[in-house]
Structure 1
């Protein structure tokens, strides 16, 4: 009898999860109810599954609100009715138009308007009703209601479980409205009586109007959510329109690709492809592969570069279809990791594109497969961060200082007995993990056989493409396999570098000749020395250190490095063990013969997710299904770790049954467990390594164009100035921005590189585009006056360009130009940008010679670019001292205490086992070479980092597998010369 029930998916309003909702309803004897979350259908499918398990009849619906006002409630009679409600909500979401006061009658859904006395001015349609609350029944007294008697329904909203949750509801409303608890009015929240009533009480409240109960019961009895139960596959079922044709086309494409990838006589590859094709067809995934191939075909026809990674790279068929460039035969990747008959979850391909091309690929998918059948995948963010304490504190009206004190871990003991903190914490404990807001998945796309609105309404997030109202976990349970169309800047680096080389050197690179790159000694020497700034995934200080320690000089070692650099592996100690074993493979002591058998290629260390799966199967006797659950638990693809934790017991029991020694089992499990949530699949690492080699090829042979591409794709791990430094090291003459030469981004011609206008701080976006467009249309600017007239720029914007040196083409000093522009624009009269009938020369005044110094220029650049170009940061130091030791000969001082001067590049904070902070620093010496520092907890509070600049460093030189670094003893930022501009 409950037509208006809400879950937590009524965001920042409802308080009960679907699970709790069912539990509360069951305890009250409820046999059927309608889930009507506010302006969404996120929970409908989950609600139906839970109800069916609990013996409650589920009915789907939506409560429609405009701002705070309840307009009407939609109740679906069946699956078609749910689609009508979702279509109605979707139309208004996607077209961004307000919900109307009344709706056109639905065919398979009913609309319940809230009863408000005399609000019935015209006859109600067949599927239109009035909902009346028990506390409104008095308004019927003495009125003629025969004309609406058959249309009245019992309306008992449910938002909370009890009075305690009602208080939580009030806090949620405060957070949602960003207001104080005391400022929340009745119109902002539900009633404290909006709960499930004790069994029989609702009927008792309507006892004088039993016909209302009869109407309600009759309506609910007529509803049937006729969705298929059990595991269903909702993806588009065919690519060609026929399953047989799909099978034939996939075979044809795979065999054609087999010749392209492996030649005509590779029997091993042929056998693998044939076996995979059988599994793909038997499991019904031909269309999934063909649609992915179609996406790749389109993007390649547009000249887009892609990287296919993830477990899909385990497939030889995917390799032959050019979905991925990772050869599974070369790396001994097994297809079963991607797709097998026992697999409990759908596979997916991860396809990466350049950040500026991904949207066009998505647009193609929507147009190719239809807007009714295509949508982006959503996500559901939850209240899980301690920052929610700040929100609760604000709702309570606490001062900022007090709120900050409650979030400070150092004050945990002090806060423990604070009554206010106890209250906040109690609310926080109830609120955490509750859904907070819907958002958009990083790249998931759904392509459905049926219209998607059978299963969800669609949102229109800022991205501008229809998005489902549930996340990947729900999609999987419902029966959707997603396509991951992702973006990354590393691909943008590669794409633009290839284009720049073609423009600047008239040479077209085939960047897909990866196997040639892997055998190039020059590239491998760069790997070995860690000379990889700008290269995808291998440029961070930690990765460059690892490459050096391993002496990495081949693809397979790089694949391993891409996995062991992950936090879980490093923290477990397995990264160190791998490096040691790598250098002394004959000295490796395997925990058990099974470990030697399965892990000899990785020197006894579990490096990949696949290694963990192999150990669980062969050491502990687990089956493939359990191994798959373990893999998914490790990669964080479950909402909780419950399934993952269940495997602990199975693992130990299985190992015991096989007679494994308990102590060894404990250590094996420790290694397995340390991978949870961190390690890569081997296919992932291999995909990353392929892209790293492509970047490395460009950096090695076309370093100037490559570094320009890195800068124009917004860099990578480091800040912008470091890539400018690398561009200079590569032999380019880097020029300040110039309005006659610069484009929005960095440009290069020959060895001359001009910084772009986009890097000038404070310059408005419209002028960043307007200036190069004006030069292109009407030629170079002649002088300052010509520039001002043609661009229409105001005084402040012109001053920025003068100070950064962008008007130096005039041949005049900055000070002269500043004087002239103030004379020209200081009167606030803005020049009009139009063709002049007669050009009148401006009056010119004789000025004294105004000279700029390099020091002044450097300070201007520091302010407007974020780094100086006219001078280096070392040139700005008050002291001429540059340290006793430089990076090139640091290895000669191992064990000794040295003094160095270093330009700050970056720092990384880590926590020790005792939860103390320590730091790792990266610096450049005066020669422009990198060196690294370690700052232990006993020294860092006394000698902290103080931002960018140069530091005097006293420390002990240590060496780890041939990589030298400095353990800091003392540490101080060096002062720079006075800014003459400030005089």
Structure 2
């Protein structure tokens, strides 16, 4: 009897979860229910999937509205009707300028319900009806429609469950309208009566008009929308060549064609693995999935795009031969059943990483090449702190009170009534969908039109995007293609291009010669000594320390390390055990023999997802089908752990029946559980390691060129400035931007590196383009006057260039240049120069001598670049006499020391009892790393106070060759006052000279200030 029901996917309107709506309907004795969210199909598939659980027949439709104004409801008779409705809605969602009309379109297999408005004239077609709300019944008695009851239906809207939901609805509407609750118009709200009544109560309400009940029942009876959620048959594009047999022949041909590229002398293991995989791929109907991925990457190679294929797909030799991945599963003995087995319903997982510069073109190719294509949505939900601010504005709270509430610094019982309401309803709407976003890289390529499953919207990215997420997509058998971007590939590609112009004699580089890289001595040295700053996946402080602990210097060791560091292994306590067994072969003997037999390569420690599956299969006696269910439960992307828990009892029963010790079984299961959502597949780790080796090769042989590429691609784990420091540590000569040598990006000539204009705060891209274009067309600039004559520029923009010393080639003092610029450049709007017959002669002004100093330059650099081009230790207020350096710490184990360090990065974590502690990373005066540990008592007493130089007192600890300081005391040291805004120290010439003598070469560590101008006190 309900034709107009909303869930909370009627964004910022409805308040009921989809499953909750079904539960309410079941409690009220309903057997059929229509879901008609407002301009949304996000909940439709989930609603249909869950309906059988509540023994309710699902009917699907859409409530078409402009804002809160209901125009009409469209209800699908069948799947074709649902597709037609989705086509129609998508037209409005793709063009925000379009308004939904008052009259519904004529769509095949669709019922139309108009809300009854007294005295309005309707001309109803055969499939169109008037919806009569309970409050309209009195009007109906005196209307002509009382005589035309065959066109009338019950319209009891359901948007809320109770009074609290209605209050929540009003708050959501106020948020949506960006208005105070007290000023929310009635026209933007629903009715408090828009809730579900028991079936008999609803019938009693309409008992004078039985025809309405019959008509409503007739419509619901006529509707049959059905989807297959069994996942037995994937709904991805079924054929690549429009013929399944031809598809398989093509896949087989491409596989064997790839043998020569990958193997010089393939043996029987290779051939038997190929045939085994091809057989299962064909049996499971995954052929087109492989071919589509192959086509995407064939296009990428034709455009010379760098890419990495990773995920569980790296376990496949077919993928390796098709060049989807660069990981040899034979070499690594990758567990094929992790990738595909006869029990697996969903296709294998290929994550295709491209450079952030290339991905958009790949996405465009996919949408052009394949017919039924869409991006996948994500549900961006209300978060508590953001909700506090939104509701605070709705209730009219001042900003200071909202700040206090978001920080959590309050006693609820001492809050006033409005603040208590803000907290109450912020908690309630936490997790409600707020708006739709785009999945990081998921693309659907469907056999049926995308609108068969739901409507699509058009985000600014410009590609049709589903209204449902990847979990719902997988429920219906649509499996995404992951087209992802990362800056690591951009660094590698650009580094090879930089080498080509800076060292043409050493180009081209075969960056794909991974087998040679694995044996390279320089790369082994970088790994062993953790000198991999800038290199993909191996540069973070945690990874740097782990590699040193493991003494990694080979490919397999790096593959293991990239998975050992994942939270699953660390949480289980097995990361430390793995390190101990890796370093001490005698300790391996203490491991349970049964686990050593299953995982000899990892010393009986579960490191990869495959290890978990092997243990579940061989130790726990689970079938491969049950192990695959375990894998899905571990993935972390499913709505619950039901799949995971289903096999738990079976695991314990099997172990008990086979006589395994209870304590061992409990410990093994604890380790398995800790992996949930965190473990890597071995092939995934191996794929990462390939990219790591490519970046390590470039770092080993072309460190300056690689650092320039890293800077231009906005770094990796660290900020730009640390990579500038790393370049200097490798002999690079760092120069500030120069109008005759610099470009948008950073460039290198020999060993001299000119920072790019794009790194200057507030420097406009259009100005950069003008400078580069003019210089390319008419040669270098001869003077500032010559520059002003040739480049239209504002006084604000040229001031940035002068302050960063971009005109230093003139030999003129920059303070004098600033005076000249203000005298010679108009403050009016900048106009393009017009060529005239006669050249205008410029007036030359005599400016006073205004010396600038290296110290002032440092502060200008901090303002404009975010860091100084000098050693920041020279900016300390009190010159340090501390001679202790990082290189001395190894000989001071167990001693209390005090060392000075420049803060690079921190990591905050919590102890087992929930207390906050920190890990710190600093650079000493020589530019070497100092690693610190701050346990909770110290973290509370001596907190980090922003970027700067700290005096650190603590005990030197050494474990597995890694040196750390357990901090007992820490304070940030004061720096000199900004000389640009103070007479001191330059009021005294002797002091000025003393300060200038501080300057020499030095490190350039991390400073991440983003503000245009601020005191040095807040930046270092």
Q: TM class by shorter-chain length?
A: over 0.9
User: What is the CA distance between 1:721 and its match in structure 2?
Assistant: 1.1
Partner of 1:5: 5
User: What is the CA distance between 1:542 and its match in structure 2?
Assistant: 1.0
Question: Which stretch shows the higher mean deviation, 393-402 or 542-551?
Answer: 393-402
Partner of 1:688: 688
Give, in whole Å, the separation in 1 of the partners of 2:574 and 2:885.
32
User: What is the CA distance between 1:767 and its match in structure 2?
Assistant: 1.9
Deviations 1:613-635 (A, max 9, x none): 21122222222233222222222
SS of corresponding position for 2:953: strand
Question: Which stretch shows the higher mean deviation, 473-482 or 345-354?
Answer: 345-354
SS of corresponding position for 1:938: helix
Contact 1:113/1:130 (<8 A) preserved: yes
User: What is the CA distance between 1:424 and its match in structure 2?
Assistant: 5.7
Classify 1:591/1:265 alpha carbon distance in 2 versus 1 (closer, same or farther; 3 Å).
Answer: closer
Deviations 1:734-786 (A, max 9, x none): 21111222111111222222111110011123223332223223433343344
Partner of 1:330: 331
What aligned pairs does 1:62-81 form with structure 2 within 5 A after superposition?
A: 62-81=62-81
What aligned pairs does 1:789-800 form with structure 2 within 5 A after superposition?
A: 789-800=789-800
Contact 2:229/2:477 (<8 A) preserved: no
SS of corresponding position for 2:360: helix
Question: Which stretch shows the higher mean deviation, 470-479 or 220-229?
Answer: 220-229
Deviations 1:901-932 (A, max 9, x none): 22221111121223222221111122111121
Classify 1:602/1:265 alpha carbon distance in 2 versus 1 (closer, same or farther; 3 Å).
Answer: closer
Partner of 2:805: 805
SS of corresponding position for 2:462: coil
Question: Which stretch shows the higher mean deviation, 760-769 or 502-511?
Answer: 760-769
Give, in whole Å, the separation in 2 of the partners of 1:417 and 1:795.
54
User: What is the CA distance between 1:790 and its match in structure 2?
Assistant: 3.7
Give, in whole Å, the separation in 2 of the partners of 1:946 and 1:705.
34
* 1:494 partnered with 2:492: yes
User: What is the CA distance between 1:405 and its match in structure 2?
Assistant: 4.9
Partner of 1:293: 294
SS of corresponding position for 2:436: strand
The runs of 5 or more residues in structure 1 that have no matched partner are: none
Contact 2:51/2:57 (<8 A) preserved: yes
User: What is the CA distance between 1:51 and its match in structure 2?
Assistant: 2.8
Classify 1:461/1:831 alpha carbon distance in 2 versus 1 (closer, same or farther; 3 Å).
Answer: closer
Partner of 2:910: 911
Contact 1:444/1:482 (<8 A) preserved: yes
Give, in whole Å, the separation in 2 of the partners of 1:872 and 1:236.
59
Partner of 2:237: 236
What aligned pairs does 1:16-415 form with structure 2 within 5 A after superposition?
A: 16-101=16-101, 102-120=103-121, 123-145=123-145, 149-228=149-228, 230-231=230-231, 232-370=233-371, 373-383=372-382, 385=384, 387-406=386-405, 408=407, 414-415=411-412
Contact 2:59/2:225 (<8 A) preserved: yes
Give, in whole Å, the separation in 1 of the partners of 2:790 and 2:471.
56
Contact 1:457/1:469 (<8 A) preserved: yes
Partner of 2:900: 901
SS of corresponding position for 1:207: coil
Partner of 2:965: 966
Contact 1:899/1:954 (<8 A) preserved: yes
Contact 2:160/2:194 (<8 A) preserved: yes
Question: Which stretch shows the higher mean deviation, 621-630 or 445-454?
Answer: 621-630
Partner of 2:1007: none
User: What is the CA distance between 1:977 and its match in structure 2?
Assistant: 2.5
Give, in whole Å, the separation in 1 of the partners of 2:148 and 2:838.
81
Partner of 2:946: 947
Contact 1:238/1:287 (<8 A) preserved: yes
User: What is the CA distance between 1:666 and its match in structure 2?
Assistant: 1.8
User: What is the CA distance between 1:449 and its match in structure 2?
Assistant: 0.9
Contact 1:93/1:459 (<8 A) preserved: yes
Partner of 2:468: 470
User: What is the CA distance between 1:468 and its match in structure 2?
Assistant: 0.7
Classify 1:498/1:850 alpha carbon distance in 2 versus 1 (closer, same or farther; 3 Å).
Answer: same
Partner of 2:432: 434
User: What is the CA distance between 1:361 and its match in structure 2?
Assistant: 0.5
Question: Which stretch shows the higher mean deviation, 614-623 or 750-759?
Answer: 614-623
User: What is the CA distance between 1:837 and its match in structure 2?
Assistant: 2.1
SS of corresponding position for 1:806: coil
Contact 1:620/1:658 (<8 A) preserved: no
User: What is the CA distance between 1:881 and its match in structure 2?
Assistant: 2.4
Classify 1:39/1:814 alpha carbon distance in 2 versus 1 (closer, same or farther; 3 Å).
Answer: same
* 1:928 partnered with 2:924: no
Partner of 1:851: 851
Partner of 2:1008: none
Give, in whole Å, the separation in 1 of the partners of 2:829 and 2:399.
45
Give, in whole Å, the separation in 1 of the partners of 2:4 and 2:170.
19
Give, in whole Å, the separation in 2 of the partners of 1:711 and 1:926.
22
User: What is the CA distance between 1:803 and its match in structure 2?
Assistant: 0.6
Partner of 1:822: 822
Give, in whole Å, the separation in 1 of the partners of 2:189 and 2:230.
38
User: What is the CA distance between 1:968 and its match in structure 2?
Assistant: 2.0
User: What is the CA distance between 1:110 and its match in structure 2?
Assistant: 2.8
Give, in whole Å, the separation in 2 of the partners of 1:215 and 1:673.
54
* 1:872 partnered with 2:874: no
Give, in whole Å, the separation in 1 of the partners of 2:155 and 2:630.
46
Give, in whole Å, the separation in 2 of the partners of 1:676 and 1:417.
41
* 1:672 partnered with 2:668: no
Give, in whole Å, the separation in 2 of the partners of 1:401 and 1:626.
55
Indicate the RMSD between aligned Cα atoms, in angstroms.
2.3
SS of corresponding position for 2:718: coil
Partner of 2:985: none
Give, in whole Å, the separation in 2 of the partners of 1:285 and 1:568.
30
Contact 2:312/2:349 (<8 A) preserved: yes
Partner of 1:640: 640
Classify 1:839/1:542 alpha carbon distance in 2 versus 1 (closer, same or farther; 3 Å).
Answer: same
Contact 2:229/2:476 (<8 A) preserved: no
User: What is the CA distance between 1:408 and its match in structure 2?
Assistant: 5.0
Classify 1:767/1:891 alpha carbon distance in 2 versus 1 (closer, same or farther; 3 Å).
Answer: same
Contact 2:794/2:827 (<8 A) preserved: no
Give, in whole Å, the separation in 1 of the partners of 2:393 and 2:585.
59
Question: Which stretch shows the higher mean deviation, 205-214 or 353-362?
Answer: 205-214
Give, in whole Å, the separation in 2 of the partners of 1:882 and 1:907.
26
User: What is the CA distance between 1:602 and its match in structure 2?
Assistant: 1.1
SS of corresponding position for 2:845: coil
Q: TM-score, normalised by structure 1?
A: 0.95
Question: Which stretch shows the higher mean deviation, 498-507 or 180-189?
Answer: 180-189
Classify 1:944/1:221 alpha carbon distance in 2 versus 1 (closer, same or farther; 3 Å).
Answer: closer
Contact 1:352/1:485 (<8 A) preserved: yes
Give, in whole Å, the separation in 2 of the partners of 1:284 and 1:478.
16
Question: Which stretch shows the higher mean deviation, 383-392 or 30-39?
Answer: 383-392
The runs of 5 or more residues in structure 2 that have no matched partner are: 983-1020
What aligned pairs does 1:523-922 form with structure 2 within 5 A after superposition?
A: 523-825=523-825, 828=828, 830=830, 833-869=833-869, 871-881=870-880, 883-922=882-921
Partner of 1:975: 974
Give, in whole Å, the separation in 2 of the partners of 1:477 and 1:93.
24
Question: Which stretch shows the higher mean deviation, 433-442 or 373-382?
Answer: 433-442
Give, in whole Å, the separation in 2 of the partners of 1:760 and 1:407.
34
User: What is the CA distance between 1:646 and its match in structure 2?
Assistant: 4.0
User: What is the CA distance between 1:560 and its match in structure 2?
Assistant: 0.9
Give, in whole Å, the separation in 2 of the partners of 1:809 and 1:60.
72
Q: How many residues align?
A: 977
User: What is the CA distance between 1:832 and its match in structure 2?
Assistant: 5.1
User: What is the CA distance between 1:440 and its match in structure 2?
Assistant: 1.1
Partner of 2:481: 483
Give, in whole Å, the separation in 2 of the partners of 1:52 and 1:647.
24
User: What is the CA distance between 1:438 and its match in structure 2?
Assistant: 1.8
Deviations 1:208-248 (A, max 9, x none): 33333343333333322254564342111110111110010
